[in-house]
């Protein structure tokens, strides 16, 4: 079959890779119908050698598809079922899975960084025609029958990018009517606006550097958008006007760089929360203003989203039409053109937010 | 009257200072019956010049006493009332006071660091015979009649040290039956054990360096104590045994040094909270392991305790006898011997935890 592999920084290729099959009795094999290219894929694309990725590593951890085969112990899905695949393997039965923190699954976690697809080791990449899914019962989620006719592009963001944004919005503790600042106009930032709106936030201020993306954010729920690159002073003025100079109740940091985290901590209102979900912290550690954190009683909360645990509360929103995250998927390419998709995302091409590929 | 002043590092003196009086119509004057020496006083004692304290600055922000006089606009207390004085001025009416975050009071906050007694500027020190209290209605709290006969030493910890510990325990979100690690065997750490016990924590593991203080912690609620200086490996082994190797559900860091914060983040269970309340972060910023924070979904929460907001829920505990934080007050000296009290705390004299002075 065909699948995408990392060759070297800025060099990914779709090539022939081995057909997957059921190895363990708890495995499933999924025929991928749509796979996303994620911001964390871009970290590998740009810096894969620094992260220890070797040539030949498979990529892709966002995908939806149809079950092709299952091992003898799989009970929750069967061949022909349409599924979504949360981006982290989970057994569904351990201490952390039972608490809903599926990203700390004791079994999924035993792979360490290889607890999800596309990190080169035990687990295959989702940007391919087929994928072997370990721990299928604890990991895969069957799409509700009510959504039989919905487009894959509505479902695909649920396996990572929307749910990561939702995790950030929930983690921020934003309450109805409150003011949220969302930092970053990548797909997670844009969808964090949508998530904050679903949670009832009053003012949702989106800060980014790209007018075209800010426009998508406004469509998804941002009540105010600021191009903070074009107008550095505007954000502070706007937040001051909206909050009686107290600052936003919460900040959702969808960048999580050393700079953005410090900015978030210095901007959020006393007693507020900085909720961060970006992986930029891996590239440079924030030096938080701890005196400010102390004097203002700030909460700093972040982490990798336990997608599977959120799906039960998200399905009704999708079914009712209240949640459609597909506007962030600006490009849909055949799998064979996946490298072009990486290039579009790497260059932040005008009009682009996020690219998906269609392997089948 | 007599009051304690900072002269130079390691040099505080009780000397003649001006008698306070009502200046603003919202002021009260309090006759101090008992005043504490706090860990943050010790930072001034040790490093006052580095913090910008000049010779002559008054010290002391923990005190209880009796109202001596009030300005014409004070409504909630009157001369003769027995009061406790939370360590941060608050108006009781602003955005933050109404939310319960009295330490971010817009009026108290206008003093910046001088928003509480004993920081040298606008406000006087509590380690003296009398104190002028600005914003008396929003700041002072009358002791309930049911506690008419209770000793000042039971009340004094409520104005800062116990309530700071309680703030940390509440901020940790510890739930009944969970395992809490408390780092630090100073007064806040010992009382954090008591607070965690009141909140229903199951295992309360206290880590410190002083056997005598650890014994006080056990008396106050710690179910396990570890001298982590004498036996560096024991803490990890114990926590592993108690938590199936998952780590404590929460860590209450009553030191909050660069090292302890990193230790806390590396120790707490995935999905857990590091709740920090110490001022050591002012002396050296923690370099948190952000990758761990991300992969484990940690919450880092800390800040200065809004004491006044907690008192309504604490009074019933004191009245019923469930809460008596006085065991941390190991020494009670006349005001004239206050410098000796600082020396006892600076040297962590055997058998000492915290010193209070009796000015009247």
What are the pLDDT digits (tens) for A128-145?
999 999 899 999 999 999
User: Is B114's pLDDT higher than 70?
Assistant: no
The helix/strand/coil state of B349 is coil
Q: Tell me what the mean pLDDT of segment A327-336 comes to.
A: 98
Q: Which residues of B touch A282 (CB under 8 A)?
A: 290-291, 294
pLDDT higher at B297 or A122: B297
Q: Do B270 and A104 touch (CB under 8 A)?
A: yes
| A70-123 pLDDT tens trace | 999 999 999 999 999 999 889 999 999 999 999 999 887 544 444 566 555 556
Domain range list for chain A: 2-160+306-358, 161-302
Percent of chain A clearing pLDDT 70 (strictly above): 96
Taking an 8 Å cut-off on Cβ atoms, the answer to whether A279 and B294 are in contact is yes
Q: Are A130 and A28 in contact (CB under 8 A)?
A: no
Could you give the 3-state DSSP secondary structure of residue A40? Answer: helix
Average pLDDT rounded to a whole number, residues A54-64 = 90
Residue range A152-170, pLDDT digits in tens: 999 999 999 999 999 999 9
Judge: A288–B290 Cβ closer than 8 Å, yes or no.
no
User: Is the pLDDT score of B113 beyond 60?
Assistant: no
Quote the mean pLDDT of chain A: 93
Nearest CB partner across the interface for A96, out of B270, B291, B300: B270
CB-nearest to B296 from A99, A297, A303 is A303
The pLDDT of residue A109 is 58
Per-residue pLDDT, averaged over A288-302, amounts to 95
Sheet holding B11-16, edge to edge: B11-16, B2-8, B57-58
Q: Which residues of A touch B99 (CB under 8 A)?
A: 271
A250-253/B329-334 β-pairing:
unpaired
Distance CA A277, CA B340 (A): 50
| pLDDT(A175) > 70 | yes
Rounded-to-integer distance, Cα B185 and Cα B217, Å: 7
User: Coil, helix or strand for B13?
Assistant: strand
* Confidence at residue A123, expressed as pLDDT on a 0 to 100 scale: 62
ipTM of the complex: 0.96
The phi and psi torsions of A192 (rounded to 5 degrees) equal: -65, -30
Average pLDDT, chain B: 93
In this complex, which of B271, B294, B304 lies closest to A297 when CB atoms are compared?
Answer: B304
- Give the residue with greater pLDDT, B59 vs B109: B59
Between B307-319 and B161-172, two packed helices, what is the crossing angle to 10 degrees?
100
Please give the backbone phi and psi of residue A56, each rounded to the nearest 5 degrees, phi first: 100, -15
Q: What is the pLDDT of residue A35?
A: 98
For A116-135, the DSSP string reads STTSSSSS--SSBSEEEESS
> Residue B266 corresponds to which tokens in the numbers above?
């590396």
Please tell us whether the domain made up of B161-302 is placed in CATH 3.40.50.2300. no
Is residue A222 over pLDDT 50? yes
pLDDT of residue B116: 63
For position B205, what pLDDT does the model report?
Answer: 98
Q: Please state, in angstroms and rounded to a whole number, the distance separating the CA atoms of residues B32 and A179.
A: 43
For residue A304, give the nearest of B101, B282, B294 by CB distance: B294
Q: Supply the pLDDT for residue A284.
A: 86
Look up residue A254 and give its two tokens.
Answer: 């969808």
Confidence of residue B123 (pLDDT cuts 50, 70, 90): low
Question: Helices marked H in B185-282 — which ranges?
Answer: 187-198, 211-220, 234-242, 258-267
Residue-level pLDDT at A116: 63
Question: How far apart are the C-alpha atoms of B297 and A52, rounded to whole Å?
Answer: 23
pLDDT computed for residue A40 by the predictor: 86
Give the CA distances from residue A202 to residues A39, A51, A173, A214, in Å, rounded to whole numbers and listed in that order. 28, 40, 13, 18
> Taking the model in full, what pTM does it have?
0.95
CATH topology of domain A2-160+306-358: Quinone Oxidoreductase; Chain A, domain 1 (3.90.180)
Non-local (6+) Cβ contacts of B193 within 8 A are: B182, B204, B206, B217, B220, B221, B222
| Phi, psi (deg, nearest 5) at residue B227 | -85, 95
Average pLDDT of span A35-51: 87
Q: Which among B244, B286, B296 has CB closest to A104?
A: B296
Mutate: best of A300, A308, A309, A310, partner B, most B CBs <10 A: A300
Put residue A41 in one of left, alpha, beta given phi > 0 → left and psi -120 to 50 → alpha. Answer: alpha
Percent over 90 (pLDDT), chain A: 86
**Nearest-CA distance from A333 to chain B in Å?**
31
Mind telling me how many Å the CA of B297 is from chain A's nearest CA?
4
Chain A residues within 8 Å of chain B (Cβ atoms):
95-96, 99, 101, 103-104, 244, 246, 270-271, 279, 281-282, 285-288, 290-291, 293-304, 306
């Amino acid at each position: 079959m065909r699948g995408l592999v990392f060759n070297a920084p800025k060099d990914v290729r779709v090539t022939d890779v081995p057909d997957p099959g059921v190895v363990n009795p708890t495995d499933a094999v999924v025929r991928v119908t749509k796979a996303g290219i994620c911001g964390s894929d871009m970290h590998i694309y740009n810096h894969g050698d620094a992260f220890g990725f070797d040539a030949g590593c498979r990529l892709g951890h966002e995908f939806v598809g149809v079950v092709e085969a299952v091992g003898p112990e799989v009970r929750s899905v069967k061949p022909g079922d349409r599924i979504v695949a949360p981006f982290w393997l989970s057994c569904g039965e351990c201490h952390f899975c039972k608490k809903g923190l599926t990203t700390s699954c004791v079994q999924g976690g035993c792979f360490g960084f290889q607890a999800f697809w596309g990190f080169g080791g035990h687990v295959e990449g989702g940007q391919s025609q087929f994928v072997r899914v370990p721990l299928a019962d604890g990991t895969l989620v069957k799409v509700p029958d009510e959504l039989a006719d919905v487009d894959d592009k509505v479902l695909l963001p649920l396996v990572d990018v929307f749910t990561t944004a939702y995790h950030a919005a929930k983690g921020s503790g934003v309450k109805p009517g409150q003011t949220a600042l969302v930092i970053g106009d990548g797909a997670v930032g844009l969808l964090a606006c949508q998530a904050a709106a679903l949670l009832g936030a009053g003012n949702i201020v989106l800060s980014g550097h790209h007018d075209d993306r800010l426009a998508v954010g406004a469509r998804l729920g941002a009540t105010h958008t600021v191009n903070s690159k074009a107008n550095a002073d505007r954000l502070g003025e706007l937040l001051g006007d909206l909050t009686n100079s107290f600052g936003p109740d919460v900040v959702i940091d969808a960048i999580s760089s050393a700079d953005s985290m410090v900015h978030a901590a210095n901007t959020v209102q006393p007693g507020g929360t900085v909720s961060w979900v970006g992986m930029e912290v891996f590239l440079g550690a924030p030096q938080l203003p701890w005196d400010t954190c102390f004097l203002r009683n700030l909460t700093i909360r972040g982490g990798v989203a336990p997608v599977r645990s959120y799906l039960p509360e998200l399905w009704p929103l999708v079914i009712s039409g209240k949640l459609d995250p597909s506007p962030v998927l600006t490009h849909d390419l055949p799998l064979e053109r996946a490298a072009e998709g990486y290039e579009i995302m790497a260059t932040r091409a005008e009009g682009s937010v996020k690219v998906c590929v269609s392997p089948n």
